[in-house]
């Protein structure tokens, strides 16, 4: 499940803290005595799948290594609304300085994990839910981690991870025929996936694309998708099938029993809604 190293988390956290605390926290440093200590709890204000605990911990530990975080649930746990999911103890100054940045990470990553969990349950293990490279710059590793915590899988992490031929590659080279010709003369060990948009393109690849390992059926109508899957399974049963384009929680169910291997959605990462988590000071002591 782990795809993050400590140094990667720290790098992202330091940049976030530099943005939020460029010259300290003027309010907290003016009002709160440096030695004042206390505790605060994290409260899930809606039902959610918890994700981002290590990142939230890293935020507070960069500000004050003596702050102690205790989580009541592990990553990937689905918790009800109004559940206390963890507690932070230490100097109040550090708790207040780290509050917003820690919550920003926790709410965003838990939002992704929660969305992925809901969509994966709709697919009911019949088809694998994939993310895409439509991620926020600088946060890709965290967002793809959240997808896995939610029960999905990662597609390519970067352009270096595999060959995915899309519409602009086809346009730039002068058509699908040129792409297939090029593939037939190239020597490599990577899997090849091609994005196609019509049944005519599919029929051409089934006949000529001997070095194609997977097909990405993009924005096919439900009727054409059924035809496409039937053709592929009859002529090239070993081809992997991925479906994309306009995938939502509302229309996902129709893909569950079609016999495709993967459903991919950029919305899992690029436009997911953050969940609501609050951070409340509960006790204070000298």
Binding-site entries: 100, 132-134, 156, 166, 195, 218, 244-246, 265-267
Name beta bridge partners: 108: none
- For 115, residues 6+ apart whose C-beta sits below 8 A from its C-beta are 150, 249, 268, 272, 273
Q: Which of 226, 182, 169 is nearest to 202 (CA)?
A: 226
Q: Is 229 strand, coil or helix? A: helix
Q: Which of 122, 115, 159 is nearest to 266 (CA)?
A: 115
Q: At what angle do helices 53-63 and 6-20 cross, to 10 degrees?
A: 60
Q: Which of 262, 278, 10, 277 is nearest to 142 (CA)?
A: 10
- For 126, residues 6+ apart whose C-beta sits below 8 A from its C-beta are 256, 257
Q: Is 151 left (phi over 0), alpha (psi -120 to 50) or beta?
A: left
Give the Cβ contact number of residue 247 at 10 Å: 19
Q: Which of 144, 63, 67 is nearest to 101 (CA)?
A: 63
Q: Which of 209, 213, 224 is nearest to 254 (CA)?
A: 224
Q: Which two tokens stand for residue 153?
A: 């899988």
Q: At what angle do helices 199-208 and 222-235 cross, to 10 degrees?
A: 10
The binding site for substrate consists of 100, 132-134, 156, 166, 195, 218, 244-246, 265-267
Name the phi and psi angles at 188, rounded to 5: -160, 170
- Residue 137's Cβ-count burial label (10 Å; 0-12, 13-18, 19+) is exposed
């Amino acid at each position: 499940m782990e795809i993050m190293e400590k140094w990667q988390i720290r790098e992202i956290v330091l940049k976030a803290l530099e943005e939020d605390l460029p010259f300290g926290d003027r309010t907290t440093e003016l009002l709160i005595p440096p030695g004042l200590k206390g505790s605060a709890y994290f409260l899930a204000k809606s039902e959610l799948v918890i994700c981002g605990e290590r990142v939230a911990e890293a935020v507070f530990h960069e500000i004050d290594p003596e702050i102690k975080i205790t989580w009541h649930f592990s990553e990937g746990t689905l918790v009800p609304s109004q559940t206390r999911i963890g507690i932070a103890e230490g100097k109040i100054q550090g708790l207040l300085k780290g509050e917003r940045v820690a919550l920003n990470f926790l709410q965003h990553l838990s939002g992704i994990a929660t969305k992925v969990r809901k969509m994966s349950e709709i697919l009911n293990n019949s088809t694998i839910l994939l993310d895409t490279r439509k991620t926020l710059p600088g946060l890709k590793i965290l967002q793809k981690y959240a997808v896995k915590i939610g029960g999905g899988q990662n597609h390519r992490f970067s352009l270096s991870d595999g060959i995915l031929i899309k519409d602009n590659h086809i346009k730039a080279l002068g058509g699908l025929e040129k792409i297939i010709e090029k593939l037939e003369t190239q020597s490599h060990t990577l899997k090849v996936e091609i994005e196609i948009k019509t049944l005519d393109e599919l029929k051409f690849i089934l006949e000529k694309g001997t070095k194609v390992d997977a097909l990405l059926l993009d924005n096919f109508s439900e009727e054409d998708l059924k035809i496409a899957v039937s053709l592929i399974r009859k002529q090239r049963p070993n081809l992997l099938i991925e479906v994309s384009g306009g995938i939502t929680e509302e229309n996902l169910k129709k893909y569950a029993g079609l016999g495709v291997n993967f459903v991919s959605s950029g919305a899992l990462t690029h436009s997911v809604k953050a969940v609501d988590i609050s951070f409340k000071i509960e006790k204070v002591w000298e």
